[in-house]
Structure 1
Amino acid sequence: MAGKTTASRILDTMKIPYTLHEYEWDEDDLAASTVADKVGLPVDRLFKTLVLKGDKTGFVLACVPGDKELDLKALAAASRNKSVEMVPVKDLQSVTGYIRGGVSPLGTKKKFPLFIDESIRGLDPVSISAGRRGTQIFVNGDRLAEACEATVCAISK
């Protein structure tokens, strides 16, 4: 299972330091709190990547801390949509190239607008999916936002 992922190769290319952390995953428990425990980080430092579709702009990605929920209204406003809705799990792979529990904000099949909750500012490290279940990337939060060309704003509650 060890080895580079598309997401880690992107960080390599950009010369952004990171570390890969592997853990045993369970199909029935992909919760952020479980993953945070397994990689030894507080859950508010584990950022989950959510895939949504806006009524005007199409697909957007959102990263929020594992202990928070996405504020759909805030994301809609930030992404210039009237509304956004979660993409069904069955459509994740065809849209992003990733499966549930392994969606990374880096290396999606197509580049989508990414919105990261402002709580990421100044955090080092934060954890994101490396693009496969069982592997997390630890990286500086500000550098991650830069690498993803993300809009950093208040989108969690």
Structure 2
Amino acid sequence: MAKGTPATVALETASEPFTLHEYAYDPNADRIGMQAAEALGMPPAQLLKTLMVEIGSKPAVAIIASDRTVNLKKLAAAAKVKEAAMMAPTKAERLTGYHVGGISPLGQKKRVPAFLDAAAMAHATVLVNGGRRGLQIEISPARLAALIGAVVVELG
């Protein structure tokens, strides 16, 4: 199994336990997170997608279940700004060091404010992108929040 992404290196450096899951990434999937959940046989609510956003004019990351949509008004309120918007894919790639479809909330080039949907806390473990297409990391949502300094808030 492939390792060595910035996300897995960050977890190993922190001596954080995690499990890797590989699957056949479909670049033509309409919803990447849903395709990953299906390929891994996981409930979509347990497989989280990493969305790069802009809160005000600053970058941030929003993490929510693959079957949910971020409510940008709720995100803006949580960030105490007037508005939030999705980040352009090219900007997200440049900022994180990852490719779209492989953006992990862990091990990004630049640490940015993070917001984790409160619904994720209902699960013993969740899956987040492992830093490349076709790789997921299984980890406790509480540990994920602690590692990235995420604000846990209702985002859906």
AA aligned to 1:115 is F
| Preserved CA contact (<8 Å) 2:37 2:47 | yes
Q: TM-score, normalised to structure 2's length?
A: 0.94
AA aligned to 2:27 is E
Q: Quick one: percent identity of the two aligned structures? A: 36
- Structure 1 stretches of 4+ moved >6 Å: none
5+ residue gaps in structure 2? none
| Preserved CA contact (<8 Å) 2:26 2:32 | no
Distance in 2, Cα, partners of 1:122 & 1:12: 25
Q: TM-score, normalised to structure 1's length?
A: 0.93
Give the 3-state SS of the residue equivalent to 1:67 in structure 2. Answer: coil
Deviation at 1:122, TM superposition (A): 4.1
The count of corresponding residues between Structure 1 and Structure 2 is 155
Distance in 2, Cα, partners of 1:31 & 1:88: 16
* More displaced stretch, 83-92 vs 108-117: 83-92
Query: In the TM superposition, what are the counterparts of 1:65-76 in structure 2 within 5 Å?
Result: 65-76=65-76
Deviation at 1:115, TM superposition (A): 0.2
Distance in 2, Cα, partners of 1:129 & 1:65: 12
| Preserved CA contact (<8 Å) 1:122 1:142 | no
Distance in 1, Cα, partners of 2:85 & 2:66: 19
Distance in 1, Cα, partners of 2:146 & 2:22: 24
Match of 1:36 in 2: 37
Distance in 2, Cα, partners of 1:137 & 1:28: 22
Deviation at 1:124, TM superposition (A): 2.1
| Preserved CA contact (<8 Å) 1:76 1:83 | yes
Q: Deviations over 1:51-75 (max 9, x none)?
A: 111225x001000011110010000
| Preserved CA contact (<8 Å) 2:45 2:120 | no
Distance in 2, Cα, partners of 1:20 & 1:72: 30
Give the 3-state SS of the residue equivalent to 1:45 in structure 2. Answer: coil
RMSD: 1.3
5+ residue gaps in structure 1? none
Match of 1:54 in 2: 55
Distance in 2, Cα, partners of 1:9 & 1:124: 23
Match of 1:153 in 2: 153
Match of 1:138 in 2: 138
AA aligned to 1:83 is E
